[in-house]
Structure formats: C-alpha cells, structure tokens
Structure 1
Amino acid sequence: MDVKLREVLPFSVSGLQVRTLNAAEQKPDTARIGPMWERFFVEDIFDKIAHKQPESFMYGVYSNYESDASGHFDVTAGAAVAAPSEGFAQIQVEGGDYLVFSAKGPMPDSVIQTWGLVWAYFEDNPQVCRKFATDFEVYTGPESVAVYIGIQDSAAFSRSSN
C-alpha cells in the first residue's frame, strides 16, 4: 500500500454530525455513520450547505475523540466552508502532518476497506502514533477516496518507510 505524508492547513467543514464508537458501527441496529451518510445523500445536504468553498469536495471528518479508536468520537459529513452554515454542525480540521491512504472503487466498500488498511498500518507500525484529534475522508469522485490520519511525529513515519 502506498502511504503518503502530507502537511494539511486547518480548514472548516459544515454538515451533518453523529457521535458513535467503532463497536457500535459493527452492528446494523446501532450503526450511526451509514444512516447519516444515507440522509446526507437522500436530502441533498451537500447542496444545502451555505458558505461552501468553491470546488469543495465532500468530507467525512472524525473528531472529538474520547480516547483512541475504542472510544466515542464524532463524525461529520459535509463540505469545506468559509463560514459556519446555519443549521449544520461545524468542525475545524486541525492543521499538521497526516498520513494519506487512497483508494478507488465502489462506495462504501472502498472506504470501509481503506479503514481496514489504516488500522492494519498502525498495528504494523507502532512507532507511528495517531493524534486522535481530527482525521478525515475526502471524496474526490464517486469512486475515489483519500483517508487522512493525523499523526504525532512525522519523523516516525519517515523511519518506518525506509
């Protein structure tokens, strides 16, 4: 898998938001992320978000982590905005170093498989530590996604990729 290191400048996203945890997402009756995305598409939320940045992609932002991958966190489905959009949640994506995992293929299977690769990468590379501040998915096309994972120390990634 090709993992890239990218520096990201802070930006804001407005959209729908749910609070969940990974254990709940494994069961259809407690999963909240899929239903949120379904509502996002059915109600054309992307087109209803005010103050959208020109040429904004769709984003899925993971934030407000309770602890690590096992705790509660927020997920926001939305668009990059220049100012808050009334009636929608607002999240500030932190600037800093991110590892980028890219995938192409039918959604949502492609993004779900990419998250599996993310978890495997961090399990296989314990010297690279996640920040658990903000992470995000950027959907650059109907079958194209990049998952950005915030990391604590970019030098640890450089050492792991040698």
Structure 2
Amino acid sequence: MEPYVQEMPRRLYAGREIRTCNANESNPETGKIGPLWQTLRENPFEDRIPKTASDTFYGIHFDYENGSQGDYSLIAGVEVDSLEKLPEDLAGITVPETKCLVFPFSGDLPDSIIGAWQRVWSYFAQDKAPRRAYSYDVEHYYFDEECSGEIFISVQ
C-alpha cells in the first residue's frame, strides 16, 4: 500500500523511554527496541497512569541527531489526556500537530514493523520524495487480528 498524507493532531503520550540508533538496532546484541517492548509486555504500566486516552500502543521517535544516521529517542507507550502526575519511571511527550506521510503495515510482529520501516527508508531515498522533518515519527499499533498499524513520518 502506498503512503498517504495526513495531518496528525496534537497528542500527549506517556511510556518508557530509551535512546538508540539504527546502527545499534541492526544488531540483536546492542538493540534496545525489542527489549523495550518486551519490558512493556512483562511489566504493563497503563493502570498507573491516571488518564489513558486510548487502549492502543504507540512508539514515538523524536530528538533525532543527524537524521536516520544518528541517535534518537523512543517512547513506547500510550496516548494520555494529561502529562501531570506521571510515575517517575515513565516519560511523557507532547507531539504537536504535524504533517505526515502514513505508511500502513500488517502482519506478524516484529517482521511487519521492520518491513514498514524498510519501506519508509526506501521511499525517502527517492529523488522526488518529500523531505523528512526528523521531528516526531509515530508508530501506531492496533493489535487487532491482522496486527495492523501505521507509521506516521513527519515531513517538511
């Protein structure tokens, strides 16, 4: 499926945060994203957040250094109504309204999300592709029968 343009509204998210880079994520020995999601499955935190806005999960990529080649931060968590009174072990972020290209995915995880990110990188490697903003990119997981979701990539 081809990506499509969508305005992502301002949203608040809370969850567990890591700092990583794509070079580290390509090696199972140094990757942090897989263990982050495993920790969320083994130690859920949603019941400790006073105002959860939805029951779906998100991965928010932000604070990029040097585009896709450098370090970035990732919060794996949920959408919330407020960032007040978060437990100390959780991070919160406000993502402003952002113009995005949306890349849908479905299938078994983690293969489907890895494949979706490969489509993102291939798409933006094209000469005529819009420029990525490298501000906020959001993975939205529905966890339905198809394990579907979308990656929202911020563009300039």
When the two structures are superposed, what TM-score results if normalisation uses the length of structure 1?
0.88
1:18-72 residue CA offsets vs partner (Å, 9 max, x unmatched): 000000111112111110010011112344433211x342100001111200011
2:123 touches 2:129 (CA, 8 Å); kept in 1? no
1:60-88 residue CA offsets vs partner (Å, 9 max, x unmatched): 00011112000110010000111122221
Structure 1 counterpart of 2:103, which letter? F
Task: Tell me the residue number matched to 1:29.
Answer: 29
Task: Tell me the residue number matched to 1:19.
Answer: 19
- Give the RMSD, CA atoms, in angstroms: 1.4
Task: Please state how far the C-alpha of 1:110 moved relative to its aligned partner.
Answer: 0.4
Task: Tell me the residue number matched to 1:107.
Answer: 109
Task: Please state how far the C-alpha of 1:125 moved relative to its aligned partner.
Answer: 4.2
- Unaligned stretches of 5+ in structure 1? 153-162
Report 1:1-162 matches (<5 A): 1-53=1-53, 55-84=54-83, 85-87=86-88, 88-142=90-144, 143-152=147-156
**Structure 1 segments (4+ residues) deviating >2 Å:** 45-50
1:46 touches 1:58 (CA, 8 Å); kept in 2? no
Aligned residues: 151
1:50 touches 1:86 (CA, 8 Å); kept in 2? no
How many percent of aligned residue pairs carry the same amino acid?
Answer: 31
When the two structures are superposed, what TM-score results if normalisation uses the length of structure 2?
0.91
CA distance in 2, matches of 1:16, 1:79: 10
Distance 1:106 1:47, change over 3 A: farther
Structure 2 counterpart of 1:86, which letter? P
Structure 2 counterpart of 1:29, which letter? E
